[in-house]
Amino acid sequence: LEQGADMTLADSTKSTPLILAAGHGRTEAMALLLAKDPSLANAANECGWTPLHLAAHGLEMKKSSVKNVKFLPAVRLLIEAKAPIDAVDEDTRTALHRAAV
């Protein structure tokens, strides 16, 4: 990042570094990316999943495990960064839907 890396580059599934970090609950990396450019929270992958969708889904997937601890701060960080909470994916589900199912 200090050398000017393009934080908006995406892979073949349109996943950006923030989307990947959110999907793995890597809050420290997410905070660094969002500090440089809060609009990164608006990105969506090819399925329409935003970083918030992925963090919320990770929280739900790990609810019976101690591992879910890393996803709650990720969700909070994205909400504080003004991530679009009403964004819908290709199944017309919001992050709240993903957290619940």
Q: What's 53's domain CATH number? A: 1.25.40.20
How many domains does one find in the chain?
1
| Res 81 pLDDT > 90 | yes
In the chain, count H helices and then E strands.
Answer: 5, 0
**Residue 6, in any domain of the structure:** no
Range picked from 7-11, 14-18, 59-63 for highest mean pLDDT? 14-18
Predicted model pTM: 0.88
Q: Is residue 28 part of a domain?
A: yes
Boundaries of domain holding 94: 17-100
Q: What is the pLDDT of residues 22-68, one digit of tens each?
A: 999 999 999 999 999 999 999 999 999 999 999 998 876 655 555 56
3-state secondary structure of 7: coil
Q: Report if residue 59 sits inside a domain.
A: yes
In a domain, 3, yes or no: no
